[in-house]
Amino acid sequence: MKTKLMTAFFIAIVSTSFFACNPDEEVEIIPTSFTFYGTVTDNQNSAALSNIKIAITNSYSVNENGVTKTRVDTIFKGTSDQTGNYSLKFTALPPHDYKITTQDISGNYQTTETPIVIDAINWDRKASDVNGGKVSKKIDIKLLKRAI
């Protein structure tokens, strides 16, 4: 009797394991959310700058009728808030060299281009975010005043 009970128990455990690992079930893929964030400030006094246009851009060369030209695509854009903070969030951006371009709406500060590289190893992440979730990269930007 003990042998029959042990055999039945073993069969129940093995069949439960088999159904729990059913390869026909769909596996959910969790998308990763990427964020560039930081603060835009005055280069001299570190005052926060609001209403600064911020864009992630991609420059590349094209050949048109034998003439090489540089094209610039805007990938994402936003504006710094009243405390100078900005945050650009996206779910897909292939590894590449990009630029964060800033432009002061009021015209008091110079336009800047900050190079950024997107690759698999240069993101701040938590251990819980490795298989989907959120990864981020902080880029603070200091702007110079325009010469009057």
The string of pLDDT tens digits covering residues 5-37 is 444 444 444 444 444 444 555 655 556 677 889
Average pLDDT of the chain?
Answer: 76
- Is residue 127 predicted with pLDDT exceeding 60? no
Going by their DSSP bridges, the two strands 96-104 and 85-90 should be labelled as unpaired
Q: What is the structure's pLDDT at 19?
A: 42
Does an H or E element contain 9, and which? helix 2-20
**Hey, which bits of the chain come out as E strands?**
32-42, 52-64, 67-79, 85-90, 96-104, 112-118, 124-125, 133-138, 141-143
Confidence at 121, pLDDT banded by 50, 70, 90: low
pLDDT in tens, 50-85: 999 999 888 888 898 999 998 888 888 999 999 999
Q: Name residue 50's amino acid.
A: S
Higher per-residue confidence, 128 vs 110: 110
Q: Name residue 20's amino acid.
A: A
